[in-house]
Structure 1
């Protein structure tokens, strides 16, 4: 996708070309709550260093939700794994955990609203609402839960 616009730095038209190559990272994280801020920082750094146009704040939030769910809802002491792929069309984030059971409510609508007095119960709702796609798949050692965020051309990003 190519869009044209006017740049503040020059008086002529500029052309936006999304990144042409993909980059990916695979990182083992501890099966503890300490994994959440580490995962957020990894996603933030990956997006910033490559100047990727996916929404970094949303990517951080949804990554934190996936990692927190993996830590809280899966048994085991082995590490969980964070996989981040930056593609020309957006970013794809997966969290691998040892539990083969699918996450409830990720790909099917929940008919009841979360309890407003509870601190939890909104993570999968946020992932469904804010990602361009999400899901889960079985792996040889458990499952991978994932989301995608579309790349946003510079002229459509907030200032």
Structure 2
């Protein structure tokens, strides 16, 4: 279920927090941090999906907020999966994150599908105000280990 700021968060088993530059250079750094964090889980969330959605959140924060203040990436490993948050200095909510607004994105355009991907691929997503702007987040569940033939 997608939602806003009023969600209960279980205590994380581990967490990472890093300030990233307010430039596109932050995207590969954020992807690498998420990949490293999820490697710590024995049966983790889908790393490829987590990297993709993190890249979308970070790219949106860089593109749609102004200023030079850093953005912050928070990765929390939970018993049930992971939660990734991106903090930015703009208090305005992120467009159509939790409820689609307007027509479907044009498939021929380079932009416009990031929030759609986050809604479609995450177990839940939302945003909440922070003391310095907002945090946009998504959760992914733990993927059960696959059975291997003996």
Do both proteins adopt the same fold according to a TM-score greater than 0.5, normalized to the shorter chain? Answer: yes
- The 5 Å alignment of 1:1-159 reads 22-155=13-146
**Root mean square deviation, CA, Å:** 1.5
Answer yes or no: is the 8 Å Cα contact 1:52–1:86 preserved in 2: no
Task: For CA contacts below 8 A with separation 6 or more, give which structure has more relative contact order.
Answer: 2
Structure 2 unaligned spans of 5+: 1-11
CA contact (8 A) 2:43 2:144 kept: no
Question: Does the Cα contact within 8 Å between 1:99 and 1:143 map onto a contact in 2?
Answer: yes
Return the offset for 1:146.
Answer: 0.2
Runs (4+) of structure 1 moved beyond 3 Å? 49-52
Larger radius of gyration: 1
TM-score with structure 2 setting the length: 0.87
1:64 is paired with a residue whose SS is helix
Could you say what secondary structure the match of 2:49 adopts? helix
The Cα shift of 1:144 comes to 0.1
- C-alpha displacement of 1:147: 0.1
